[in-house]
Amino acid sequence: MGYDLMLSAMRYASPTTVAEAVDLLGSDPAARVYAGATDLIPQIRAGRPEPTVMVDLKRIDRLCAIGSNGSTYTVGAAAPTADICGHDGLAADFPGLVEASGLIGSDQIQSRSSWGGNLANASPAADTPPSLIVNDARAVIAGPGGERTVAAADVATGPGQTSLGPGEIIVEFELDQPPARTADAYLRLIPRTEMDIAVVGAAARITLDGDGNVAAAAIALGAVAPTVVRVPDAEAALIGNLPSGEVLGAVEAAAAAATNPIDDKRGTVAYRRQVAGVLARRAVSIAAERAAQQGDQS
């Protein structure tokens, strides 16, 4: 419908190995890899420079696989979020991360969209990075110099900016099986019920001890700073305490204070700050409740 000829100058490549993909990317600075292309194609249509070669990562088995060796899950960077949402093990162990994955777009988008794309696109408002980060996900990165593994938190460095070097791609994510009495949660605020961009996102992961006190906590906020922000003050306030009452108040205050938001068409500084606190508090409560239920079951 008018766009038909728009992509005509581009070439399409579909490597089947990581090495081939790295070669293609390394040999042409204007080549771009994509998984679902649900970020990339809208950006090109909106006027971003056209890549010379579109490198499709979905033909590489390793990038679409989801597996576990019993202690660590490995999730291909191009695996569609629909597969992730349908994976019983992930859903049981990382309910918040899976919820965040399920929020992306619609069924149509879900059949294409990936964690790798969500993270490498480096939008401050992306839904899965806060949850990847509270779960200490690691990204396995392949490049001309071989493979390296970094914390998922270290991939995005600013809006649209990543620490990926020339020719580097994210191959897969590693997630360690969580300890007992541990669960996560993710909440986002959008004015509509779906098909919208987070004004604020909040992920929390809580581990409880046998008495119901918090043994470990991780809280991360999206859309309130150039990159995902952790809230160490809120985490510290939780450790050794029951996740309720004044402690939750401290979480809310610390989360609001940790933000560094901007005023734009989607939200104001004051609103984002206030709501970040609210969502952080709620996410902690939900994660703690889930963790407690796990304790009950075992």
Partner 1 sequence: MTVTESKPSYKYVGTRPVRHDGLEKVTGRARFAADLNMSGQLHGIVVRSPHAHARIVSIDTSDAEAMDGVKAVITGDDFPAVDPSHRQYDMCINVIARDKVLYEGHAVAAVAASTRDQAQAAAAAVKVEYEVLPAVLTIDQAMAPGAPLLHAHMMTAGANPPAEEPSNISNVTRFSGGELDAGFAEADLVIEREFTTQPVHQGYIEPHACVADTGQDGHTTIWCSSQGHFNVRSSTATLLGWENSRIRVIPAEIGGGFGGKTTIYLEPLAVALSAKAGRPVKMVMTRDEVFRATGPAPGTKLRIKLGVKSDGDLVAGDAYLIYTNGAYAGPGGLLGAMTVFESYKIPNFEIEALDVVINTARSAAYRAPAAPLTAYAMETMLDEIAEELGIDPIDFRIQNAVTEGDPSTMGFPFARIGFVECLEAVRDHPNYKAPLGPNQGRGVAAGYWFNIGESSSATVNLNEDGTATVVTGSPDIGGSRASMALMAAEELGIDVYDIRPVVGDTEAVGFTDVTEGSRATFATGMAVVEACRRMVVELRGRAAKMMGVDVDDIDWMDGQAVYTGSDGEKAPLSVAEITAKAKRTGGPLTATGSLEAHGAGPGFAVHLCDLEVDPETGVVRVVRYTASQDAGTAIHPSYVEGQIQGGVAQGVGWALNEEYIYDSDGVMENPSFLDYRVPVASDLPMIDAIIVEVPNPAHPYGVRGVGETGIVPPIPAVANAIYDATGCRIRDLPMSPIRVLDAITSNGGSNGS
Residues that bind partner 1 (CB under 8 A): 1-6, 8, 189, 191-197, 199, 265-268, 271, 274-275, 278-279
Q: Is 127 in the site for ligand FAD (CB under 6 A)?
A: yes
Q: Is 138 in the site for ligand FAD (CB under 6 A)?
A: no
Q: Is 117 in the site for ligand FAD (CB under 6 A)?
A: yes
Choose which of 18, 22, 54, 57 interacts with ligand FAD (CB under 6 A).
Answer: 57
Q: Backbone dihedral region of 6: left (phi > 0), alpha (psi from -120 to 50 degrees) or beta?
A: alpha
Choose which of 121, 182, 227, 259 interacts with ligand FAD (CB under 6 A).
Answer: 121
What number of chain residues touch ligand FAD (CB under 6 A)?
31
Q: Which C-beta is closer to partner 1: that of 5 or that of 298?
A: 5
* Minimum CB distance to partner 1, residue 171 (Å): 30
For residues 52 and 286, give the distance between their C-alpha atoms in angstroms, rounded to a whole number. 46
Q: Which C-beta is closer to partner 1: that of 209 or that of 264?
A: 264
For residues 273 and 262, give the distance between their C-alpha atoms in angstroms, rounded to a whole number. 10
Choose which of 42, 67, 159, 165 interacts with ligand FAD (CB under 6 A).
Answer: 42
Q: Which C-beta is closer to partner 1: that of 62 or that of 272?
A: 272
Residue 134 near residue 219, CB atoms below 8 Å: yes
Q: Which C-beta is closer to ligand FAD: that of 116 or that of 243?
A: 116
Here's the x/- map for ligand FAD, 157-176, by CB under 6 A: it reads as -------x----xx------
For residues 118 and 99, give the distance between their C-alpha atoms in angstroms, rounded to a whole number. 14
* Minimum CB distance to partner 1, residue 7 (Å): 10
**Which of partner 1, ligand FAD, none does residue 105 bind (CB under 5 to 8 Å by kind)?**
ligand FAD
CA angle 79, 84, 85 (to 5 degrees): 145
Backbone angles phi, psi at 174, to 5 degrees: -115, 135
Q: At what angle do helices 95-103 and 269-297 cross, to 10 degrees?
A: 140
Q: Is 36 in the site for ligand FAD (CB under 6 A)?
A: yes
Q: Is 38 in the site for ligand FAD (CB under 6 A)?
A: yes
